[in-house]
Amino acid sequence: MPRIPDHIAIVMDGNGRWAEKRKRPRNLGHQAGLKALKRTAEHCARSGVKILTVFAFSSENWQRPRQEVSRLMELFLKALDREVKNLQQNGIRLTFIGDRSQFPAEIRQRMIAAESLTRSNGEMTLNVAANYGGRWDIMQAAKNLAREVGEGHLAAEDIDRDTFASHLSTADIPDPDLLIRTGGEMRISNFLLWQCAYSELYFSPVLWPDFGPDELDRAIKAYQERERRFGKTGEQVRDKKRA
């Protein structure tokens, strides 16, 4: 039976271009993007995906025009109010990864409340990366490890790959099996740099607001047709499957 990726990560790109093509304000593209996230998350849950991680707002997005950032924050608040109940009804757990300190206090409080409300849900986990950057994630892990070594709680020689990973913002989350980027760009833009070391990559030409179940299924099909070797030879992988 074809395997469904346990963990899918998505760079949701193309909201602004989608709006510009229609000669509409960029914030309407972001609103359409939220609808795309809703239908994609629901399809992931129906398909058996256990974890969906989406890049909602990068640490670099603060550099965008002030009005656009303000509209994004307003949309974030509305989404937290409107969509969290829907996630709860569908058994989806919501978590946030990233540096929350730059968000307004009201948004931080809503994030905590949403996580608390959905904490016990087990149908699927939706991780929203907000004010997140892969380099930030690695740096904060390194700083925390250095602090533990300095305080005598950890020996430097005991730091291995698992120890480092346990200090990332995704400490309790398995690495993505499949990373999807929409919008036709072919880069990962500082998203989950450590975690995606062995993820399969799929670049979709579809702008994010137009993304949905059909394109997600195409990405999953492409994933299913690949052989994941993790440094081994193809023969080794096939021998293990036959064993």
Per-residue pLDDT of 38-77, as tens digits, reads: 999 999 999 999 999 999 888 788 887 887 887 788 888 7
Options 6, 15, 27, 61, the catalytic residue: 61
Task: Flag whether 157 is in a domain.
Answer: yes
Helix or strand run (H / E) with residue 107 = helix 105-118
DSSP 14-74: -HHHHHHHTT--HHHHHHHHHHHHHHHHHHHHHHT--EEEEEEEETTGGGS-HHHHHHHHH
pLDDT in tens, 139-193: 999 999 999 999 999 999 999 999 999 999 999 999 999 999 999 999 999 999 9
DSSP 166-233: TTSTTTTSPPPSEEEE-TT----TTSSTTTTTT-EEEE--S-GGG--HHHHHHHHHHHHTS---TTS-
Report the CATH number at residue 102: 3.40.1180.10
Task: Flag whether 1 is in a domain.
Answer: no
In the residue annotation, 81 being an active-site residue is answered as: no
Domain count across the chain: 1
Task: Flag whether 2 is in a domain.
Answer: no
The pLDDT assigned to 74 comes to: 81
Task: Flag whether 56 is in a domain.
Answer: yes
Mean pLDDT of 4-29: 95
In the residue annotation, 61 being an active-site residue is answered as: yes
SS3 163: helix
Q: Domain residues for 106?
A: 7-242
